[in-house]
Structure 1
Amino acid sequence: MGGRLQGKTALVTGSTSNIGRAIVTAFAAEGAHVVVSGRSQERGARIVEGIRAAGGRADFVAADLDGTAAASGRLAERAAGVLGGRIDILVNNAGIFPGSTTADTDEETFDRVYAVNVKAPFFLTAAIAPAMVRAGGGAVINLGSWVARLGIPVGTLYSSTKGAMETLTRAWAAEFGPQGVRVNAVSPGVIVTPAAEPHPGESMMKGTPAGGVGSPEAIAQAAVWLASDEAAFVHGTVVDVDGGRVGVAVLAG
């Protein structure tokens, strides 16, 4: 185990699978006391057990972040209680991806995706960042996406929510940064867990320097850096961990 986050406390939303699971595991490995959060008690318990078995500190707090201020407030309160009264690091990771086109998106889906992907982290940050200020500082890390800045013909609604989160990153950095709370974001490319079958997203990473999809651990390591003192001079930045998808085009010879 490392010590880059030794003595810190962290809440990672949507951390019972994929990127969130990798982040909470990496934070614990660097010495943070973490709260694993999500809807599945069973999956959360397994992750907590694995972290503890590796010598880390972790607890599970169930949460269904439906976009209401009340749900976000309850999670903030319960997580702070488990973590000894303070949250040093907040990772707004939870999100849903409907994958529908504009014409196929009904109003109910629209409202639900914005509730989970934008309203929930908005009100969770509203509940936690002021407490970080009172405690002397902290770090908020949002999850953006490469599709916020490179248009693709599907997932339009999801793309717009990630654009909102990247904008909120800069606005919150201006609002809370002068008071000691650093706010930044990680923008992943196509990220998949190891599987026997090819992932349909692999085609979207063709023509990039990486040439293929990334792993959840790649995003987790970026989050560790942003949460650590190593990034003390980093504010309002979106860190692209996307294999070069947004910034680079590799041309065939």
Structure 2
Amino acid sequence: MISLSLAGKVALVTGATSGIGAATAGALAEQGAHVLVAGRDPERGEAVVAAIRARGGKADFVAAELGDVAAVRQLARSATELGGGRVDILVNNAGVYPFKATEEVTEEEFDAVYALNVKAKFFLVAELAPAMAERGAGSIINISTQVASYGAPGMSLYGSSKAAVNLLTRSWAAEYGPRGVRVNAVGVGPTRTEGTAPMGENLDGLAAQAPAGRPAEAEEIAAAVVYLAGDASSFVHGAVLPVDGGRTAV
């Protein structure tokens, strides 16, 4: 019988101080995982940790800038130490999502988006996946987006960075899967979070294009991550699971 429990597992969630990351951290903790809440803001991070502990879960905050490879490697070391020598589940959630016409994007903006959305994920996997493979088990979940699957005005920079994540997901599945590490992604649709609140009615308009006709709640995305993290998805490798209200189906 497949166990849905993550008891005894150590999970690192980047960008976990708010939104989808915070909801994911809480959901993983509810399944018994020791969750490492990674983010830039210690105050918000400790608030997420406190909320998890108040519900009987186990969590710790770990500072994470992710602005360069040295910082990524430091996060991997800190997380491994806090996790008692290992990280079993990695959720690559941290990212930025600027919507801007191609001709308006500066070189600095381009570099910043690819640094966080692609480069940081790449080197965090490079740091943590080999140890998972050595132990013969692990799960990596990359948070992607519906606009990595189709063209949309104003989303060339964001969408292309997440399309790279989708390809990396498949490449890493092929690379680490034979050694017991499953790598998958969640293709997220419009979701109500603190970060998307400024979009206002534009968020509803974007969501209205999908069969579900509404934005997701962060907890709905978190539920998909929990599925991919645990044994219930033991035969799922290299998938980009659409959790977008059906947008990529139409």
Query: TM-score of the superposition, structure 2-length normalised?
Result: 0.95
- 1:22 and 2:23 equivalent? yes
- 8 A contact 2:4–2:232 mirrored in 1: no
Structure 1 moving runs of 4+ over 6 Å: 194-197
Q: What pairs with 1:214-253 in structure 2 (closer than 5 Å)?
A: 214-248=216-250
Judging changes above 3 Å, is the alpha-carbon distance between structure 1 residues 197 and 103 closer, same or farther for their aligned structure 2 residues?
closer
- 8 A contact 2:4–2:230 mirrored in 1: no
Deviations 1:4-37 (A, max 9, x none): 2111110000000101011001000110000000
Task: Report the RMSD for the aligned CA atoms in angstroms.
Answer: 1.6
Aligned counterpart in structure 1 of residue 204 of structure 2, from 189, 195, 202? 202
Aligned residue pairs total: 246
- 8 A contact 1:193–1:215 mirrored in 2: yes
Query: TM-score of the superposition, structure 1-length normalised?
Result: 0.94
Deviation at 1:160, TM superposition (A): 0.5
Q: Give distance in 1, aligned partners of 2:200 and 2:107.
A: 33
- 8 A contact 1:189–1:214 mirrored in 2: yes
Deviations 1:26-59 (A, max 9, x none): 0001100000000000000100000001000000
Q: Percent identity?
A: 52
Structure 1: stretches of 5+ with no match in the other structure: 249-253
Q: What pairs with 1:97-116 in structure 2 (closer than 5 Å)?
A: 97-116=97-116
More helix by share: 2
Judging changes above 3 Å, is the alpha-carbon distance between structure 1 residues 207 and 100 closer, same or farther for their aligned structure 2 residues?
closer
Residue 85 (structure 1) aligns with: 85
Residue 39 (structure 1) aligns with: 40
- 8 A contact 1:88–1:139 mirrored in 2: yes
* Aligned residue identity for 1:242: D
Q: Give distance in 1, aligned partners of 2:198 and 2:82.
A: 38
- 8 A contact 1:192–1:199 mirrored in 2: no
Deviations 1:83-136 (A, max 9, x none): 111000001000012222110001111111100110000000000000101122
* Aligned residue identity for 2:166: E
